[in-house]
Chain A
Amino acid sequence: MTAARLIINEIKGYHRFLKFLMVLVGLGALASLVRFIFGLGVTTNLNDTYPWGLWVSFDVVTAVPLAAGAFTLGAITHCFHIKKLEPLVRPAIVTGFLGYSLVSVGLLLDLGQPQRCWHTMVFWNPHSPMFEVSMCIMAYTTVLFLEFLSPVCEKLGYYLPLRVLRTLEMPLVVAAAAISTLHQSSLGTFFLIAVDKLHSLWYNPLLPLLFWISAIFSGLSIIILEATMTHKWLGQEDESELLETLARIIPWVIGVYILVKAYALFFLSEGPFFDRPRMLVLFGIEVLAGVFVPFFMFMQKKVRNNNRLRAIAAGLVIFGLVVNRFNVSMYGMIHEGAPYVPSLLETLVTIGIIAAEILFFVLIAKYFPIFEHHPETVDYSLPDKFRKVEKHGSVAAGA
């Protein structure tokens, strides 16, 4: 089989996968139409006992930390100035932007009065974590959009906006990190109000801090997984050397997480841990498979330097994060007797949203060289004067 044939076959394979994704997105869109015509009661299995279900648990509480790669990597690359990680920043921003856009879609579907979503901007209630999160998500999506504009301007050769964006780059990176810190942690604050409702395996006053730390290492893991997969299946550049660097950072963050979680569990939690076997099992899966196993994997050089093992460890981290967010926002809130199980339509909408995220990412990665951006070509030092950018901005000068 010649190389050309291989490529053709591969493209055929992609096409079927992309078509499949498109069908899933279509089904999700249809299902969400049902919500607007017949109401939330018909579409979902929500009721007065379980006012929040799959859409809040996955589309918001889980999807937000999964899109955390952009702010973590931005801060590491630009603030700590580990310049060589730069090629990974753009794909992370693309994922972040897609992720947050779809979080907004999920949120709008879940609201009873989506046409009034602008109310949060007019009727402020700073005592509400939901107010804070919605303001942050709006602000952060704007920041991501501006960061996303940079490569677009580069491509189109718009010098002036590019110069403005270059000047804004560092402030945007810092703003992204600060805003993300706030809303990633505030998602945990949501559940601090659920005193006596959330099981004590998860309820403790440090929940916001835990949400923030886990968002950081999950964001980095997502980048590893994504870069490995796009290299393997989309023919993007091989960044394994950079991924090794990321893999060296992750165990430190997980280590801090384990310490904080242990402290919160043993010193700050009230109420019984062992009263419900189901909860214990869920907790065990989350902590063992999702935290400890990847922690020990990432500690080994053998794993960090091996593409497959590294991706597996990253996958485990993400699995652990998903289980954790579901435990906090869904399973841990379910009391005995009346369980909540998502309906078919609810599930279709969420699958549609996941499919849309992958589909858009694949399409962007297919047609734009988002992994080809290399720092050698661009000067990333703070532009102290506009003149400087012009002088070094090889793109601006060369185009």
Chain B
Amino acid sequence: MSGDIKDFNKTGAFLIDMTKCTGCRGCQVACKQWNQLKAENTTFFNGEGYQNPPAMSEYTFTRIKFRDYQKNGQNEFAFYKEMCMHCNDPACASVCPVGAFKKTAEGPVIYDTKRCIGCRFCMVACPFGVPKYEWSKAFPLVKKCTGCYSRIKNGHKPACATACPSAITYGPRAEMLKEAERRIAARPDRYLKKIYGKEEAGGTSVIYLTALPFDELGFKPVTKRPLPSYTWQALRLVPGIFLTVGGSLSLLSWFTHRKDRLKKEEEQRTQSRKHSDQNQEKTE
């Protein structure tokens, strides 16, 4: 959980400027290399775009999505880099029963392989569909972009940000947001006037600039509220409900049972009185 981090200005963030992406997929390759992920067997498919593999998976933490469109009568490509958003208040971390996910002070949301029990709630909860599962294994674990935590701890930039020749900048979140605003202000014709990730899911550590509307590129429309707040509004009532239900039922049963006991004792008393009366009669 990110409960202990209050200030997200200093957490590391990716500024990904899709207008500067050339679709070289150097980041995809760098990510596989650094994380030692297997190559995937893919086939050419004639769906939308030319991206491969067809989706993120246990072997693919990041992926460039392609989109054809027409601009001034010319065919153009637009791109979208899919990866974990490293949310400020991550849904994956809040729902995990054993707290296997953690938002680090450095920025990345990391996963503790030794804790996970494999309930896959994180996959259900993540609004961006990021965590993937090792479906082929008998005792599978969750896989997702690590934000290159090990590199960052040692003063390096993430592998994809290092490999990218043009589009990815990495730095403190406040600076990245300022830079994004500066770019939009400087070239209003080039950019859509919106920074994706500034407020999405309560703010993320990956922020995007694009030229095309976000939904056309495959960005998911998500709520602006941090997702954990949706469940917390119910869960915070738990101790209260427990005490109310327990307390009122105890009180109720105390009353009903007392009534019963009094009645029984009354009966007993009259009975024993009768009994002693009879005895007296006998002795007389």
Contact B1 A127 (CB under 8 A): yes
**Contact string against B for A residues 178-219, beta-carbon threshold 8 Å, 1 for contact and 0 otherwise:** 110110011011101111110000000100100000000000
A117 contacts partner chain B, Cβ-Cβ < 8 Å: yes
Check if B121 is an interface residue, CB within 8 A of chain A.
yes
Stretch of A78-86, A252-260, A307-315, A356-364 on the interface side:
A78-86
Distance of B257 from chain A, by nearest CB (Å) = 4
Residues on the A chain within 8 Å of B246, using CB:
174-175, 177-178
Give the chain B neighbours of A300 by CB distance below 8 A. Answer: none
Determine if A193 and B94 form an interchain contact, defined as CB atoms under 8 angstroms apart.
Answer: yes
Whether the Cβ atoms of B261 and A384 lie closer than 8 Å is: yes
- A-B pairs with the 9 shortest C-beta distances? A112-B118, A41-B135, A81-B256, A51-B123, A131-B97, A51-B120, A178-B246, A130-B97, A125-B99
B95 adjacent to A178 (CB under 8 Å):
no
In the complex, B29 has a CB within 8 A of chain A: no
| Identity of the chain A residue whose Cβ is nearest the Cβ of B263 in the assembled complex | A381
Contact B138 A79 (CB under 8 A): no
> In this complex, which of B227, B232, B235 has the most chain A Cβ atoms within 10 angstroms of its Cβ?
B235
- Verify if B192 is at the interface (C-beta below 8 Å from A): no
CB of A124 closer than 8 Å to a CB of B: yes
Residue A339 CB within 8 A of the other chain:
no
Whether a CB of chain B sits under 8 angstroms from the CB of A48 is yes
**A125 neighbours in B (Cβ, 8 Å):** 1, 94, 96-99
Listed A/B pairs (13) with beta-carbon separation below 8 Å:
A41-B136, A51-B124, A75-B249, A80-B256, A113-B139, A116-B98, A119-B97, A123-B115, A125-B1, A127-B231, A130-B119, A185-B234, A194-B124
- Tell me, rounded to whole Å, the shortest Cβ–Cβ distance linking A382 to chain B: 4
| Residue A39 CB within 8 A of the other chain | yes
Say yes or no: is A126 at the interface (Cβ < 8 Å to chain B). Answer: yes
Give CA–CA (A174, B244) in the complex, Å: 11
Would you call A79 and B132 a contact (CB within 8 A)? no
Cα distance, A112 to B117, chains bound together (Å): 6
Docked Cα-Cα span, A131 to B55, in Å, equals 30
Instruction: Please indicate the chain A residues that have their CB under 8 angstroms from the CB of B55 in the complex.
Output: 48
Cβ distance A108 to chain B, nearest Cβ, rounded Å: 10
Contact for A205 among B57, B140, B234, B264, CB less than 8 A? B234
CB-based contact B245/A119 at 8 Å: no
Is B222 positioned at the interface, with any CB of A under 8 Å from its CB? yes
**A381 vs B250: C-alpha distance in the bound complex, in angstroms?**
13
Q: Which residues of A contact B256 (CB under 8 A)?
A: 79-81
| B208-258 at interface with A (beta carbon < 8 Å) | 220-223, 225, 227-228, 230-235, 238, 241-242, 245-246, 249-250, 252-254, 256-258
A170 within 8 A of B: yes
The answer to the question of B91 belonging to the interface, with a C-beta cut-off of 8 Å to chain A, is: yes
- Answer whether residue B176 sits at the interface, using C-beta atoms and an 8 A cutoff: no
Give complex CA distance A114, B221 in Å. Answer: 35
Residue of A nearest to B99 (CB): A125
Q: A129-B235, A178-B249 are in contact. Are A111 and B257 (CB under 8 A)?
A: no
Q: Once the chains bind, are B121 and A181 in contact (CB under 8 Å)?
A: no
The answer to whether the Cβ of A377 comes within 8 Å of any Cβ in the partner chain is no
Contact B234 A189 (CB under 8 A): yes
Please give, as numbers and ranges, the residues of chain A lying within 8 Å of B6 by CB-CB distance. Answer: none
Q: Say yes or no: is A394 at the interface (Cβ < 8 Å to chain B).
A: no
Q: A194 touches which one: B125, B136, B235 (CB < 8 A)? A: B125
Contact partner, B127, options A113, A132, A195, Cβ 8 Å:
A195
- A128 in the interface, Cβ–Cβ < 8 Å? yes
- Complexed CA–CA distance, A197 and B241 (Å): 28
A1 on interface, CB distance cutoff 8 Å: no
B163 within 8 A of A: no
Q: Of all chain B residues, which has the CB nearest A81?
A: B256
Q: Is the CB of B125 within 8 A of A123?
A: no
Look across to chain B and name the residue whose beta carbon is closest to the beta carbon of A203.
Answer: B230
Report the bound CA distance from A173 to B249 in whole Å. 9
Inside 8 A of B116's CB, which chain A residues have their CB?
112-113, 116
List of B residues within 8 angstroms of A165 by Cβ = none
Q: Check: A52 CB closer than 8 A to any chain B CB.
A: yes
Which residues on A sit within 8 Å (CB–CB) of B132? 48
- CA of A48 to CA of B119, assembled, Å: 13
**Cβ of A182: which chain B residues have Cβ within 8 Å of it?**
238, 241-242
Q: Which of B127, B235, B258 contacts A186 (CB 8 A)?
A: B235
Residue B129 CB within 8 A of the other chain:
yes
Q: Is the CB of A39 within 8 A of B235?
A: no
Q: Are A111 and B230 in contact (CB under 8 A)?
A: no
Pick from A119, A174, A186, A192: contact of B117, CB below 8 A: A119
CA A81 to CA B94, docked complex, whole Å: 41
New contact pairs (10) apart from A47-B135, A170-B253, A193-B231, CB-CB < 8 Å: A81-B256, A111-B117, A127-B235, A129-B234, A130-B95, A174-B253, A182-B241, A194-B125, A197-B124, A382-B254
